[in-house]
Chain A
Amino acid sequence: MTRIFIKALLAAAVLGTSVLTGCAGSESKKETTASQPAAARKPAASQPGTTSQPATTDQQSAGESVDDAVVTAKVKAKLVDDDVTKAYQIQVETFQGTVQLSGSVDSEEARSRATELAKDVGGVKDVKNSLQVRKPG
Chain B
Amino acid sequence: MRFNAICAVAAAVLLLTGCNKKAETQAEVQRDVTKAAAEGQRDVADARADVQEANADADKQVADAIADRDEKDVAREARDANETADKGKSKIMIAQAEADHKVAIEKCEALTGPAQKECKDNADQELDQAKETAKVNR
Give the interface of A toward B (CB within 8 A). Answer: 38-39, 41-42, 46-48, 66-67, 69-70, 73-74, 76-78, 80-81, 121-123
Q: Are A70 and B59 in contact (CB under 8 A)?
A: yes
Q: In the bound complex, do residue B78 and residue A76 qualify as a contact, i.e. CB atoms below 8 Å apart? A: yes
**Chain A residue nearest to B68 in the complex (CB):** A48
Given contacts A46-B67, A69-B63, A76-B75, 7 further A-B contacts (CB under 8 A): A39-B59, A46-B63, A67-B59, A73-B65, A77-B75, A122-B59, A122-B81
Interface 9-mer from B28-36, B48-56, B113-121 = B48-56
B75–A74 contact, CB under 8 A? no
5 residue pairs, one from A and one from B, having the closest CB atoms: A77-B78, A73-B78, A38-B56, A48-B67, A77-B79
User: Per DSSP, are chain B's interface residues mostly helix, strand or loop, or mixed?
Assistant: helix
When the two chains form the complex, which single residue of B62, B63, B81 contacts A47, counting CB atoms closer than 8 Å? B63
Task: Name the residue on A nearest B84 (C-beta).
Answer: A122
Which chain A residues border B85 with CB–CB below 8 Å? 121-122
CB distance from A73 to the nearest CB of B (A): 4
Closest to A48 in B: B67
In the bound complex, do residue B60 and residue A42 qualify as a contact, i.e. CB atoms below 8 Å apart?
yes
User: Are the C-beta atoms of B78 and A39 separated by less than 8 Å?
Assistant: no
Report which residue of A38, A48, A73, A121 has the largest number of chain B beta carbons within 10 angstroms of its beta carbon.
A73
